[in-house]
Amino acid sequence: MVPREDWRPKRGEIPTEPGVYRFLDASGRVLYVGKAKNLRSRLSNYFQPLHSLHERTRRMVTTAQGVEWTVVGSELEALSLEYTWIKEFAPPFNVKFRDDKTYPYLAITLAERVPRVMITRNRKLTGARYFGPYTKVWAVRETVDLMLKAFPMRSCSDSVYQRAHRTGRPCLLGDIGRCAAPCVGRVTPEEHRGIALDFASFMAGNDESYVRGLRTAMTAAARDLDYESAARLRDQIGALETVLAKSAVVLDEQTDADVYGIAADELAAAVQLFIVRGGRIRGVRAWVVDTELDVTLTDLVDTVLQNAYDEGDAPAREIIVPAVPDDVAALQQVLTERRRAAGERGAVAVKTAQRGQKAALAETVATNATGALLQYKTRRSGDFTARSQALADIQEALGLAEAPLRLECFDVSHFGGSNPVASMVVFEDGLPRKDQYRTFAIADARDDTDAIHQVLRRRLTYLHDEAAATSPGDGPDGAAPARKAFHYRPGLLVIDGGQPQVAAAARALRDEGLTDIAVCGIAKRLEEIWLPDSDYPVILPRSSDALFLLQRLRDEAHRFALKYQTKKRSSDIRTVLESIPGLGPARTRELLQRFGSVARLRAATADELAAVPGIGPTTAEAVRRALRDGG
């Protein structure tokens, strides 16, 4: 590895204009592409002391052996060039999109003399008008089937159309009224194009106005005693209302918006997009991205919007995001150009939703993104091949004699330094064993390292006694602990923490005379793996299943410790309340149910407490005094 000092450009050599920069490795491969308003200011951030850099940034700059930049005239040009280079070079340290699915679209081939409506995954049909994407192809077919009742346009292939034209006999759709049969001259190509344009206008969001027009025409036909036309219009209205009923009304009918929700953790981000046209959700799209370098939410939004619209895709006039990027003006201009290139008018505005129906919809989209991230992690952890590879990678990275089939992770939780507790969670073959989870109450500890030392000694003591019947902790969620589970020998002890916590765990192993059990720690902020007596952490690749497994193990230990700590605090407050004269278990339960949490109970006034049935002014004052003095 060539030291940074050998290839780092001098500060005075770096221009202060806007531009795009590329970090390269020894072979000239592009590792990372970024843009900046001020190249000198941005690049200087990468050449700070290594210990002050985020771990993923540190790994990138220590891998790189050169940096190049290109000065451009504006932020807009920087944005466009960055997008082009990321597409061209696929840099490994930029955000990686994992959306390898192709979504079905409804397309109307307006460039043809006799337009056709079709379902396709091809986004490159010349002159076609696209609607979607849709998540389920059957939903698109059902929509087309209903729409053809109202807009009987051609949906057949070219070969079927030409055969009908030669024979003078329409296909079945023409016979049952689902096609106007331009192939046999029942309507002229111009009349058929009018039907196709009405179809496209309806799908673009002009649905309510079109239905109102049909109602007016139906009323006029009935008034003129043209009952055949009135019946045909009635059937069209019924078909269109069925279509409209299947599209949720979320906003007013003038609203066209793309609403984004993003849920992210240290390794990945799930993106959800609701496509709203004419106030209705016309399509939903979801994908997952791997985040390699440390990126903020605004940077992630910026990258997502740059990659969400392929050639021919038209962004909505309004794009609602969870956070507005810093270079929003340039981004809006780029998206406006893509919208116009797709044949749509109007400028694009990128904004957040603060209140009202749009904010409510944005919250729904965010909830879907959170669920998608959880589903992605669950599916990934449930893959047997991935789990096996993760255990093998952990063995190799930590230099273990064999793959650690039983992992035990410990975490300490406290509330402002008081009421310390700890948890132990168990994964076997990469899957959680919740019947073997344990919790520990800690009477007294100087700090987290002392708490870890105490808990580890209590747990490791049981490895000396093969006849141990039960564990000293509580079973998960109040369940009885499994017999003889606590003396099973772990393949690896994982500590939620960095070097100090790992050192405390290693000391506990030595105190118990156990030298054949490996221990490591995972530090949350940088996702580093620490080993005892090591000055440098082990860095696992961001996309590795090994890091994913250790992160999930650590998160589960943290969740379980926090749950027990909350339960223990609730028990403590019950003890305090029940010691007050005149306040028994029933009234204590009533108090806790009324205020919902210990924090709200502590913040309640005497009048609010006295408003609880069975709690008079004297008892309310006693409760306030007890919570202030002893709680």
242 versus 308: the higher-pLDDT residue is 308
Asked if residue 595 is part of any domain, the answer here is yes
One domain for residues 562 and 588 = no
Average pLDDT over residues 449-457: 88
Domain boundary among 316, 351, 378: 378
- Residue with structure tokens 């009234």? 587
pTM tops 0.85: no
One domain for residues 510 and 624 = no
| pLDDT reported for residue 480 | 44
Asked if residue 100 is part of any domain, the answer here is no
One domain for residues 241 and 262 = no
Secondary structure, 3-state, 453-506: HHHHHHHHHHHHCCCCCCCCCCCHHHCCCCCCCCCCCCCEEEEECCHHHHHHHH
* DSSP helix/strand/coil, 201: helix
**Residue type present at position 421:** V
Find the angle CA(465)-CA(466)-CA(468) to the nearest 5 degrees.
70
Asked if residue 571 is part of any domain, the answer here is no
One domain for residues 401 and 546 = yes
- CATH number of the domain encompassing residue 285: 3.30.420
Q: How, if at all, do strands 528-530 and 518-523 pair?
A: antiparallel
> Is the distance from CB of 61 to CB of 51 less than 8 angstroms?
no
Residue 167, both tokens = 């024979």
Q: Is the pLDDT of residue 431 over 60?
A: yes
One domain for residues 410 and 508 = yes
One domain for residues 159 and 236 = yes
Asked if residue 46 is part of any domain, the answer here is yes
One domain for residues 146 and 233 = yes
Cα 520 to Cα 254, 403, 452, 535, distances in angstroms = 57, 14, 13, 13
Cβ-proximal residues to 14 (8 Å cutoff; 6+ apart), any chain: 39, 40, 43, 44, 69
One domain for residues 228 and 267 = no
One domain for residues 533 and 460 = yes
Domain boundary among 42, 72, 94: 94
Q: Is the pLDDT of residue 31 over 70?
A: yes
Structural domain total, the chain: 5
Q: Using omega within 30 degrees of 0 as the cis cutoff, is the peptide bond preceding 133 cis?
A: yes
One domain for residues 426 and 544 = yes
**pLDDT single digits (tens) 49-67:** 887 777 778 888 888 888 8
One domain for residues 559 and 536 = yes
- CATH number of the domain encompassing residue 586: 1.10.150.20
Asked if residue 572 is part of any domain, the answer here is no
Asked if residue 384 is part of any domain, the answer here is no
Q: Is the pLDDT of residue 165 over 90?
A: no
The alpha carbon of 161 is separated from its chain's Cα centroid by a whole number of angstroms, namely 45
| Of 409, 416, 407, 445, residue with least CA distance to 565 | 416
One domain for residues 359 and 479 = no
| pLDDT reported for residue 504 | 92
The DSSP H or E segment spanning 20 is strand 19-24
Asked if residue 252 is part of any domain, the answer here is no
Residue 277, domain extent: 257-378
Q: Where are the alpha helices (DSSP H) in 187-254?
A: 189-203, 207-223, 227-245
- CATH number of the domain encompassing residue 449: 3.30.420.340
Length of the chain: 631
Percent of all residues in the chain with a pLDDT value above 70, rounded to a whole number: 81
Strand positions, DSSP E, 296-443: 318-320, 349-351, 406-415, 418-428, 431-432, 438-441
Asked if residue 251 is part of any domain, the answer here is no
Domain boundary among 566, 592, 607: 566
CB count within 10 Å of CB 188 equals 12
**pLDDT single digits (tens) 93-120:** 887 665 545 667 788 898 888 899 888 8
The DSSP H or E segment spanning 150 is helix 137-150
